Amino acid sequence: MASPPLICTRPFEWFEIHPDGSVFLCCPAWLKRPAGNLLQQPVEGIWNGPVAIELRKSILNGSFHNCSARRCPHLKRASGVLRPLTALPPGPVQEALAAGESRLTYPPPRLNLCFDRACNLACPSCRSGRHRPDTAERRQVARILDLVREQLLPTAVDVTLSGFGEPFAAPGYRTLLHQIDRQACPRLERLFLHSNGQLFTPENWRALPNLHPLLAGVEISVDAATAGTYAVNRPGGDFDRLLRNLAFIAGLGVPLKLSMVVQANNFREMSDLAGLARRLGARCYFSALVNWGTFSRREYARRAVHLPGHPEHQAFLRLLDTLRALPHVDLGNLPAKLV
């Protein structure tokens, strides 16, 4: 008997906002095509605009022709948000998919807020140096923040901060963290924080009591398992402070994930990071290095150990095989098998 077709829920629930106002219905590393721009269009014009409808039709017909099977870990492994229709929980998303609807009658339930690039670190995998926003950028962040609060937060079910910028450092995010509560977000059920962990301290968390009942998960981007590599991959960060904060976060009682963008200078520390995650009762997620415009082609090739042409690629694959069976490790979009 043939397996049932798999459905991706992302374009039916995801609304990701970037600093220029661009909106994506999935991670732009996996699905590069923006659905619209929040600074130029109303939410409804994006959510049920022509691009959004086309993206959903490509899911419904099983072609996934806008998606990158090479970069998307769910397509690569048929996992995560990629599930049979019968495995989806009941609700508006399941009903829309079951009915084959590409135009949706409900507002975006899941927000991934990436609109404030400000950060306390200057990690080469993300940016070419410490970012200092000018007046025009600060005004744009404030405008997007107003639109999010007015048009999206009142109906959001999940909010994630942030795929870009640091929640505890970026002014726009800090403002939002202090304002999120049951009154402003009456339908909000879950808040997910994605942080570098440097400012996720007991003191900063105690200052946000409004978030405590909403926190449903934390991801800390680590990119190293030793102080030396951390200093290179996370300039401005302190590895000892990170470890102290991780111990605190692990005690909050919510799912914790440590993540690493894998490259030539840290892949040999993957096992150590997996060990740290296990000791903390956390999961561990690894992903391939993406060039967000911060590297030359030559520099990216030097770092991208996941690519077959890299001189250390076979050593990298052998290391992956030692991690593959660990239940708390997710190898994301890294190569699926030893070749």
Domains of the chain: 9-99 (no CATH), 109-254 (3.20.20.70), 257-338 (no CATH)
Q: What is the pLDDT of residue 190?
A: 97
3-class state of residue 285 by DSSP: strand
Whole-prediction pTM value?
0.92
3-class state of residue 24 by DSSP: strand
Beta pairing, strands 190-195 & 36-37: unpaired
Residue-wise DSSP of 33-56:
---EETTTS-HHHHHTSHHHHHHH
The burial of 133, by beta-carbon neighbours within 10 Å (0-12 exposed, 13-18 middle, 19 or more buried), is given as middle
**Predicted confidence (pLDDT) per residue in 90-142, tens digit:** 999 999 999 999 999 999 999 999 999 999 998 888 766 676 778 999 999 99
CA–CA separation, 101 vs 117, rounded Å? Answer: 35
**Predicted confidence (pLDDT) per residue in 17-62, tens digit:** 999 999 999 988 888 899 999 999 999 999 999 999 999 999 999 8
**C-beta of residue 180 within 8 angstroms of C-beta of residue 103:** no
Residue-wise DSSP of 171-226:
HHHHHHHHH-STTT-TT--EEEEEE-SSS--HHHHHT-GGGTTTEEEEEEE---SS
